[in-house]
Structure formats: C-alpha cells, structure tokens
Amino acid sequence: MRGYFAVGVDGVSKAMNLGNLLRISHAFDASFFFTVNAQVCMADAQSDTSKAEGAIPHYRFREAAELRLPVGCRLVGVEITEDAIELPRFRHPTQAAYVFGAERMSISPEMLSRCEFVVKIPMRFSINVGMAGAIVLYDRLISLGNYPSRPVKVGGEPDETLPPPHAWGAPIMRTR
C-alpha cells in the first residue's frame, strides 16, 4: 500500500480507550500516533498489550492549534456530523492523519475546523473509539491495499474475470 497514515485522538480521558486505539493503530501499521489535550498518559494505557508505544512514534499536543503534521498529510476527522461523508463513500488520501473524538465527547470545534475531511461510520449511534478506529482503518486497508473488488457470488468464490494472483518468478538478468 502506498503512502502512510497516522491515528490520533482529541481529548481522550480513559486509559482503556487510549490503549485500545493505540493497539489497533499498531496492528494496522500506522506510521505514528498522536494525542491532543489528552487527560491520561500512555503509561496508564494497560490495554495496549502490543507495546505499541515503543514501536511507533507518539506525539503529544496540548491543544489543536499545536498539532503539526508532515507536509502533504491530510487531516481526516471521524465524527458524527450532519455534513460528514459516509465512510463507504469516502476515498482515503494516501497521506492521512485520522483524528477521533474522546468518549462521551466529540472532536473539539478547534480540531474539527482543522480537518480537511470529516467522515462518519453509518450507524444508528456512536460506538467506542477503539472500535471506530478499527472500522476506519480496515476500510482504508481494503480501499487502498490493492485488493480486488468483492466477488459477486455469495461465499467468496473469485470472479472468473479476475486475473490469477501474481507469482514471483526467477530474477530477470539484463545483458549489455
């Protein structure tokens, strides 16, 4: 998969949720993780059993105005708003930072105003931030990860029109 992505959370106050989102970010191979206005510290995130803090960079920002992202990185807010794009209709940027709101809260208005895109998971009500992170990152994986379209037939049998999976051959040597 080309590009990179990061995951962040705005205003997290529960260590369990912080650890879950960090672990999910690590599992999906995030390039870095960030927190903005966090009310808990990484040391309290006991639910991160993958020890992601030592495996991916973590950046802390006191407020949304301090957030710094790499040049070309597009900030994507994940929030239930009236004008948010439904996740299945969203084309993920190749260079993206996804920011989630804290439990029982939304993304702060300051952070929301910095987002280039806002997406929502089409559901009846809000879910846990870790679960939302897993859904968004899985959607990114299947959208940008060079997977073929889903089979039309129930059960997962491949469509006959798809080429066979690539098999690596012997190296090709050029002669001058």
Domain count, the chain: 1
Q: Is residue 130 part of a domain?
A: yes
Phi, psi of 156 (to 5 degrees): 90, 10
pLDDT in tens, the chain (176 residues): 689 999 999 988 777 788 888 889 988 989 999 999 987 666 565 555 666 667 788 899 999 999 999 999 999 999 999 999 999 999 999 999 999 998 777 899 999 999 999 999 999 888 888 899 999 999 999 999 878 777 777 877 665 565 666 676 776 777 77
Structure token digits, residue 21 = 């989102």
CATH number of the domain within which 131 lies? 3.40.1280.10
- The model's pLDDT over 50-77, given as tens digits with 9 standing for 90+, comes to 666 677 888 999 999 999 999 999 999 9
- The model's pLDDT over 43-55, given as tens digits with 9 standing for 90+, comes to 565 555 666 667 7
Query: What is the span of the domain harbouring residue 33?
Result: 4-104+116-144
